[in-house]
Chain A
């Protein structure tokens, strides 16, 4: 099963398990089934509960919040993650905030799905990884998935939580087969690479190459829940390893690497490095884009720099 099919199956289950559940988004009805086909078959199986919307991301998130607080859970699809900035006010000031501000008199079971990431040559407004802007928002859980995580469990937990979630998917990962592989198999690794979402694939490929070519034991530590960030959990997963590389695709600064470094602050003898996306917009030239973003080659080079 591919990632996109895993997501599609989870959405089917969401609608099948709860007759009050709804899905909303742009161009999500059959026969099209969404820009990336995550919603394929849903409108046929659950007519009336899959709502195709105008191009109104801000209001889609708001309508979902209104329905959810009346007991109708909603999963929202944002066609390209780049467009989630239009939902910022709803994510930050409404769905995540009102339950607490109203003294928990309401609950907002809304899951917003947003496909992020580059390397498809889509250019500056369809290739970004904007999740850091939504991390650290109280009341909003931000999750990222890849082919290495338990997609069914992640989605089921988000739907069962009864609280606002933003799930970061990755456009390249959609086509990948789900893999049940342990990407952190070593008890005493030489290097730990901490990453999430679409960058996990790059890091796993780099770890395999470091093993084959350099005989280095590399654990890839994939973080699924980006926010709130489990600092103690990360320290446990790092264990005694003191060579830590952080890989993220988002633009440089105020990002995942900073959060990981905060979690590991004070560890004696720590060697720490990070790589990320560029500090300028993503170019549409695909080869240029791929060279700028974390890739197998620059992750391997950064890992070797760290250990040598």
Chain B
């Protein structure tokens, strides 16, 4: 399969179109996963970032992929695709093929590709992020770790903040606060204010309430620049929206609530700023996704 970057370079002359194609890719990739699950064609589970794609694109544009490290979580497809665009190999991983990024060992939640890693234990990767930041500090590299509002309940977060501050570790903590942890709303799971969490550790922070890529990109760039130039951790709190279920179908929110959240759909916001060519781009992306998926399905299983 040709790489997604080749598809983009054939169609996109400007950054906004590149961003649109990437966001469309992530959205359609995960929508396709949900369709496949509903048809019984996938097993296990998956956690989609539908509604949160702009965060992944903003952050992955802000880091230096040659040297920086990214730690993601269970909701990792968007981060991964924005990091490397390895569509065929991600499909192959999720459908359990030897050609998958982890040879079919990892599946949806456990991805590793160059300096990108994800896993399915809430907060468990926070100290690893502190460790990679410390190890690569002399190279001028930073580490980006993605958390959610649900992760705020894990002690790892606070141990990690303490160590990162004490040891001047260049860690960019990114909290994607979508207001709901599986089915538990934020006000039942998080006391106090997430935006304020890092201050007692003498860690600078910023809070952004937006799903607009145009707002998120500069916020991410500023945060990453601060971490790299100061050699200090930073806490970036992003209030975002989760438009679909936690995993496949476990959404307990009302249709009215979801309808209101859909007004904040980052893909719609991006589409509104384009000149009407988005349908064509969506079609191109869809065809590419189908080709990647079909290729992955033809690859051998790891246990074959």
Decide if B124 is an interface residue (CB 8 Å cutoff): yes
The one of A53, A71, A98 in contact with B163, judged by C-beta atoms closer than 8 angstroms, is A53
Chain A at the B interface: mostly helix, strand, loop or mixed? helix
Decide if A304 is an interface residue (CB 8 Å cutoff): no
Decide if A59 is an interface residue (CB 8 Å cutoff): yes
**CA–CA, A114 and B8, complex, Å:** 53
Decide if A274 is an interface residue (CB 8 Å cutoff): no
Number of A interface residues, CB 8 Å?
A: 30
The answer to whether A62 and B156 touch across the interface, beta carbons within 8 angstroms, is: yes
Decide if B185 is an interface residue (CB 8 Å cutoff): no
- The segment from A101-109, A124-132, A173-181 that touches chain B is A101-109
User: Across the interface, which residues of B come within 8 angstroms of A90, CB to CB?
Assistant: 124, 127
Decide if B287 is an interface residue (CB 8 Å cutoff): no
- Looking at B69, B103, B127, the one whose CB has the most chain A CB atoms below 10 A away is B127
The answer to whether A64 and B131 touch across the interface, beta carbons within 8 angstroms, is: yes
* CB-based nearest B residue for A94: B124
* CB-based nearest B residue for A72: B135
Chain B interface extent, by class: 20 to 34
Interface membership of chain A positions 43-64, coded 1 if the CB is closer than 8 angstroms to chain B and 0 otherwise = 0000000010110101111111
User: Across the interface, which residues of B come within 8 angstroms of A100, CB to CB?
Assistant: 105
The answer to whether A102 and B156 touch across the interface, beta carbons within 8 angstroms, is: no
* CB-based nearest B residue for A56: B159
The answer to whether B163 and A103 touch across the interface, beta carbons within 8 angstroms, is: no
Q: Tell me the minimal C-beta distance from A73 to chain B in angstroms.
A: 11
Assuming the contacts A59-B156, A101-B105, A103-B106, asked whether A65 and B127 have C-beta atoms less than 8 A apart, the reply is yes
User: Across the interface, which residues of B come within 8 angstroms of A154, CB to CB?
Assistant: none
Assuming the contacts A54-B162, A102-B106, A102-B112, asked whether A59 and B121 have C-beta atoms less than 8 A apart, the reply is no
Decide if A211 is an interface residue (CB 8 Å cutoff): no
**Contacts A62-B126, A67-B134, A94-B119 known; 7 new A-B pairs at CB < 8 A:** A65-B127, A66-B132, A66-B135, A93-B124, A101-B119, A102-B106, A102-B117
Q: Identify the 8 closest CB pairs spanning chains A and B, nearest first.
A: A66-B131, A62-B127, A102-B112, A70-B135, A66-B128, A59-B159, A59-B127, A63-B131
